[in-house]
Each structure stands twice: as C-alpha cells, then as structure tokens.
Structure 1
C-alpha cells in the first residue's frame, strides 16, 4: 500500500473510534489482515499513527483549539476533527513536512467530505503553519 492509502485507513480507523470508541487494537489488527499488510514498515506506520494520535489526543485537541477562530472544537464535524488530529499530529509531533501533511489530509478530505471542508481545513492548517513559523510550538 502507498502511504496515502495507509493514511486513508488511519483516517477510517480514527473516524470509527471517534464515533463509537471501539476496541482500537482489534480494529487495527482487522485492517492489517483485511488489507493484507505484510511489510513491517506499513504495519508499523498504521499502528503507530493510530495509537499515538489517540495517546496524544488531548494535546492535539488543545493545539487545534488554539488555532480555531470563530469556531469551537465541539462544533466541528467528526470528519474535520479526525482530519485535523491527523494533520496536527504529523506536523507538530512527527515533524513531517507540512506541505506533505497538508496535501495528504486535503486529498482525504476531497474523498470523504463536502467540497468546502477542504478549504476550511486548509485555512486552519495555514494558521497552524503561521504559528509554527512564529515559534509557537518549537
């Protein structure tokens, strides 16, 4: 699988977890088996992202709240919450290049959300990058 396809599976797992707070370890193993992930790199990427995003959820939510203007976190839709957690995780914790992280999350948004969601997310992520450049998270 490509990294984008794995990110999409990560999004789906986190979306499901956000909605029903399921047994995430079981669901991760289900996806690994269903998608026939055999390479350690793919399995580790999927497993570490999902578990680390959940483990860092409070930090990620606070960082998202810091950037939101005119919105409350609670008002966001589940898709937006999950996509923001993934992108904030990649940018602020994993230190993935923000161009890559933003592009990946916007591609997933195009596939799973409304047309205006992509622009909404892009605006929030642009503000995050501006804050980072101003050393807010360093």
Structure 2
C-alpha cells in the first residue's frame, strides 16, 4: 500500500505536468495513480490534494508570491513551484499539523528538486505558517 508521501509525490508530478502546459493529464489521473500503485484511501487523498490545488490555484499562488523575498512565482522552477503549491494548499485548506506539512515538503524537495530548494521552501512555508 502506498504512503501519503508517495501520494504527495504523485500529486507533485501531476502539478508539474500541468504547470508545463500538459492540461490533458487531468484526463489520465486515475491511470497515473494506478500505475504508481496509489489506491484506495491514498488515491482519495491524492485526488483531494490535486483537485484542491487546481481549484484554489489563484489563492495559493497569491499566498506564495506574498512570501517570496524577490521575484514572482513565474521565476520559480516548476518542481519547486509544484511542491510549494501543494504545501501551501495543505497549510491553508487542510486540517494537518503545519510542521508535518513543512517537513514533508522539505523531504520531497530534497529528493525531487534542486540543491537549494529545501532551504528556500522551508523559508517560504515558515512565513506562510506564521500568518495562518
């Protein structure tokens, strides 16, 4: 059975694809999750996260931009952006402990993103957490 971390990693991949312009991936979410063995409760969890991010994208991006030290969201790498979008969604709209959300985002960024990403993501999410 897949873990929540694996479900989040799949959601990040989906968000990454959408950010790169592959909107059609939405039609294949079930197949993609099945291929990654994201099933049952974890599939529901992943779908909830993905749909939540997509449905609240403007608010999430606005929140991220408010906490960037410089530049704007379009300056971020697509992987970092996907990780931040997911974590900010969970921080704003889900009933999870904020330190768990931040830790998951940092760990995922260590595996999926650039070397500087964990520190950057931690800084942005810490600012978001303090306001909520």
TM-score w.r.t. length of structure 2 = 0.91
- Runs of 4+ off more than 3 Å: none
1:94 aligns with 2:94: yes
Residue deviations 1:38-61 (CA, integer Å, cap 9, x gap): 42x122111111111111100100
Structure having greater relative contact order (Cα 8 Å, sep ≥ 6): 2
Written as runs of structure 1 = structure 2, the 5 A alignment for 1:1-138 is 1-39=2-40, 41-132=41-132
Does the 8 A contact of 1:13 with 1:27 survive in 2? no
Please give the root-mean-square deviation of Cα atoms over the aligned residues, in Å.
1.4
In structure 2, the gaps of 5 or more residues are none
Count of paired positions: 131
Residue deviations 1:106-137 (CA, integer Å, cap 9, x gap): 111001111111101111111112222xxxxx
Structure 1 residues 36 and 79, CA gap change in structure 2 (3 angstroms):
closer
In structure 1, the gaps of 5 or more residues are 133-138
Does the 8 A contact of 2:53 with 2:89 survive in 1? yes
Instruction: For 1:43 and 1:16, locate their aligned partners in 2 and report how far apart those are by CA, in whole Å.
Output: 18
1:94, distance to aligned residue in structure 2 (A): 1.0
Instruction: For 2:72 and 2:34, locate their aligned partners in 1 and report how far apart those are by CA, in whole Å.
Output: 37
- Could you say which structure has the larger radius of gyration? 1
